[in-house]
Structure 1
Amino acid sequence: MKPSRLPIFFIVATVAIDAMGIGLIMPVMPDLLREVDGGSLGDAAIWGGILATTFAAMQFLFGPIIGSLSDRHGRKPVLVISLAIMAVNYVLMAVAGTIWLLLLGRIIGGITAATHATAAAYIADVSNPDQKAANFGLIGAGFGIGFVLGPVIGGILAEFGTRAPFWAAAVLAISNAALGWFVLRESVTDATRRAFKWKRANPFGAFKSIGSFPGLGPLLVVYFFFQIANVVYPSIWAFYTLERFAWSPGMIGMSLAIYGISFGLVQGLLVQPSIRRFGHRGTVVLGLGLEAVMLFVIAFVTSGTLLLILIPISALGAVGMPALQGIMSRRVADDAQGELQGVLTSVNSLSAIMAPLVMTRSFAYFTATGAPIYAPGAPFLIASVLMVVSVVIFQMRKRASVA
């Protein structure tokens, strides 16, 4: 299909607005969980891990279903319906007075959080093979732009209470649904429409189906380890910076905004030049290697100012993921792009099921009174080791299979 810049622009805007909703609530999560549960920061971190794992478990179970539904019924209705229900989820979390209502909100949110996967499938639909990696980078740039605005606004809104960002996120989600309904053009045609089958729509059947494409299975393993390592940021960042540097919600939001700007610039401007210079394989290795080094450094930083300086450098590792996605997308048939993105969503979710509990519990353990060593950066050290594992697995593949 001949690529059109206008629908790509709208998809990037959609992802950016969606990311704003996520970024809005991150700065207030430590205070919100302590407000609802009444425990310590370590206890709040553990509950944060439980909520994140619940959210991820729902994504794992429903990601391939929603991806396959978008292959059958189109990207537009899936995006619009998911966003409308997501708005209801934010309202529920805005009024929740118990941890159990927050848990229910995470269940609903996890089921409907298919926007990113469906947006990626849309990009695959309207992109030529050689442009897919760069256009996946644009999605990352849109996500980064949303993260620039979201945490800053969330930090400001936190001055009006821990619930204010959730109301703002609800407004953004319903506005985003309206934007998609009136502006997005359907990219699934009769030629690429695919029948819905449960054997592909359940996560395990989808893995089996996608695994039938030559060389894709090992790449999914690399993607899996990469995602496990990166879960450390949403799981721990707010708790880590509050514990180590006593940052306020506004400062946490500002730090996330710096990362969002850096992330957006890297994925919007550096992915294609990196691929031209190093190739897809070299760009993946470069990105994974940079991530491993920076996670290790962050684990031992003792100065908040130095951490702020390091954030743009750590964002350079973001060049690797679009290149890896491009490699995988080129190995999948045009009528299975939604299925692939659904599987990637399930991989993300599977890693997010496992990682938050490990990351948050290691944080709570190494910051508790009587801990054998005070090490709030322990989760980042774990993530660095996992990133090294992903580099090793990727390098073990034959060059010809990913060229």
Structure 2
Amino acid sequence: MRLPFVFVLLTVMIDAMGIGLVMPIMPQLIVEVQGGTLADAALWGGVLSTAFAAMQFVFGPILGNLSDAYGRRRVLLVSLFVMALDYVVMAIAGSIWLLLIGRLVGGITAATHATAAAFMADVSKPEDKAANFGLLGAAFGMGFVLGPVIGGLLAEYGTRAPFWAAAALSALSFGLGLMVMPETVTDKTRRAFCLRRANPVNALRAIAALPGVRPLLWVYFLYSVSIYVYPAIWSYFTTERFGWSPQMIGLSLGVYGIGMAAVQGGLIRPATRHLGERMTIICGMGFEVISFALLAFLTNGTIALMLIPITALGAVITPALQALTSRATPDSQQGELQGVLTSLHALSMVISPLLMTSVFAWFIRPDTSLYLPGAPFLLALVLMAAGFLLFLRARPAVA
């Protein structure tokens, strides 16, 4: 099982690289194909992110239920194959509408992380789940180290070069999966596919009905909406506030990826062992609140870079929260759970980009009464604080 375990981590890393590769060039690409100002590009960037997330919201439970019925391998490989084709479409897109179609298709197939998490749940002992989910986060973080840096460098060859690189990485991952990925869904844990339960609302109801799980789902949602402020506005915020180039944006995202990988790959295991999953989440939320408060009013790019390691400490939240939720869910519903979490994350991605980019655009308008590019971070702070208060009242059970 070691080689498939490594493959799943590599798949998540390559997936993150594909996402990170294109982030530094999105503002320039949107202006290139659509015209307008940076504020206009930020709004279109929010639309593209929301379209991607809306498809994830609808299809996350469907793919999760399909993986419970037909296996992780099949869902993972199909997703990777279509994802590679999607990046090719993005590479040749000459209009904002073709970019939008590409994001819609990409959102449907972007199930690699959820399927990988279900695989981890299949092969992990209950006491190891937080650490193994942390390894997935670390792999994602390493992808963010490599992806934005490489994307920033590839931007020298044009705004389309990162998309071709992302397509190649997805195709490579697909080829590796064909060779080494086993099936971890057994006849004992296999659950027949039910279209009614694959509906996002019904899937959410089924998981939320488990003892103590509903509050955790609300915390996960509020956390996701707030934390998505980073990918939603970082490229636009740092361009406006600090005048950073695509290369500098890529470097900053790479620094964050290193910090996130170090936290989730190395810190999560001792943190949950000594503090427990609950206290680990509380501490992580505290670090995020501090980071949001500082970034909201920063005017110095060097200090922003120095703050990134502190911001990365909040990365302990996701694996610890996933572990608490997974331990409260039966083995036969792990894929369904991951589909629900994917939907909640996707719903946050529908809401957060439009919300955060709209707030950003409002506070950088030429006629604004208060110039504050960091305003979205204040909104994220409020949402994180709400999730923190709700989590203090949550008492999940163990399935």
Aligned to 1:278: 275
**One of 302, 305, 308 as aligned partner of 1:305:** 302
The structure 2 residue matched to 1:349, chosen from 346, 354, 361, is: 346
Listed one character per residue, the Cα deviations across residues 369-398 of structure 1 (whole Å, up to 9, x for unaligned) are 010111111111111111111101101235
Partners in 2 of 1:376 and 1:167 — Cα distance? 32
The Cα shift of 1:128 comes to: 0.5
Q: Quick check: 206-215 or 336-345, which moved more?
A: 206-215
Counterparts of 1:104 and 1:384, CA distance in 2: 33
Q: Which amino acid aligns with 1:105?
A: G
Superposed CA offset, 1:44-81 (max 9, x none):
00000011111111000000000111111111111111
Aligned to 1:227: 224
How far apart are residue 192 of structure 1 and its match?
1.1
Structure 2 unaligned spans of 5+: none
SS at match of 2:191: coil
Instruction: Name the residue aligned to 2:247.
Output: 250
Pairing 1:68–2:65 present: yes
Q: 2 CA distance for matches of 1:177 and 1:288?
A: 36
Runs of 4+ in 1 over 3 A off after TM superposition: none
Partners of 1:221 and 1:355 lie apart in 2 by 15
- Aligned pairs, number: 399
For residues 365 and 232 of structure 1, what CA distance do their matches in structure 2 show? 15
- Distance in 1, matches of 2:41 and 2:205, equals 38
* Cα deviation digits, residues 169-202 of structure 1 (max 9, x gap): 0000111111111111111111111100012111
Residue identity matched to 1:64: P
User: Aligned residue for 2:89?
Assistant: 92
1:182 partner letter: M
Q: Give the letter for the 2:149 counterpart.
A: V
Residue number in structure 1 paired with 2:383: 386
| RMSD of aligned residue pairs (Cα, Å) | 1.2
- 1:115 partnered with 2:106: no
- CA-CA distance at 1:363 after TM superposition: 0.6
Q: Contact 1:63–1:342 at 8 Å: present in 2 too? A: yes
Q: How far apart in 2 are the matches of 1:391 and 1:7?
A: 36
* In structure 2, distance between residues paired with 1:294 and 1:25: 25
The equivalent of 1:186 in structure 2 is 183
| Partner AA of 1:167 in structure 2 | W
| One-letter amino acid matched to 1:195 | A
Instruction: Give the aligned partner of residue 34 of structure 2.
Output: 37
CA–CA distance in 2 between the matches of 1:268 and 1:5? Answer: 17
Gaps of 5+ in 1: none
Q: Report if aligned partners of 1:287, 1:321 keep a CA contact under 8 Å in 2.
A: no
Counterpart position of 1:7 = 4
The one-letter amino acid paired with 1:241 is T
Give the match's secondary structure for 1:363. helix
Map residues 4-403 of structure 1 onto 2, 5 A cutoff. Answer: 4-398=1-395
Amino acid across the alignment from 1:157: L
Q: CA deviation at 1:7?
A: 2.6
Structure 2 distance, partners of 1:401, 1:30, is 45
Distance (Å, rounded) in 1 between the aligned partners of 2:242 and 2:176: 39
The whole-number CA distance in structure 2 between the counterparts of 1:121 and 1:363 is 36
Please state how far the C-alpha of 1:401 moved relative to its aligned partner: 5.2
Contact 1:359 1:379 in 2 (8 A): yes
Q: Distance in 1 between matches of 2:239 and 2:229?
A: 15
State how far apart, in whole Å, the 2-side matches of 1:362 and 1:11 are.
37
Deviation at 1:5, TM superposition (A): 3.8
- Tell me how far apart the structure 2 counterparts of residues 49 and 57 of structure 1 sit (CA, whole Å): 12
1:90-114 per-residue CA deviation (whole Å, 9 max, x = no partner) reads 1111111111001000100000011
Which amino acid in structure 2 is aligned with residue 36 of structure 1?
V
Code of the residue aligned with 2:51 in structure 1: it is T
The one-letter code matched in structure 2 to 1:173 is: S
Q: The residue matched to 1:154 in structure 2 has which SS?
A: helix
Deviation at 1:8, TM superposition (A): 2.2
CA distance in 2, matches of 1:125, 1:396: 29
* Whole-Å separation in 2 of the counterparts to 1:181 and 1:299: 46
Give the match's secondary structure for 2:163.
helix
Aligned partners of 2:17 and 2:166 also within 8 Å: yes
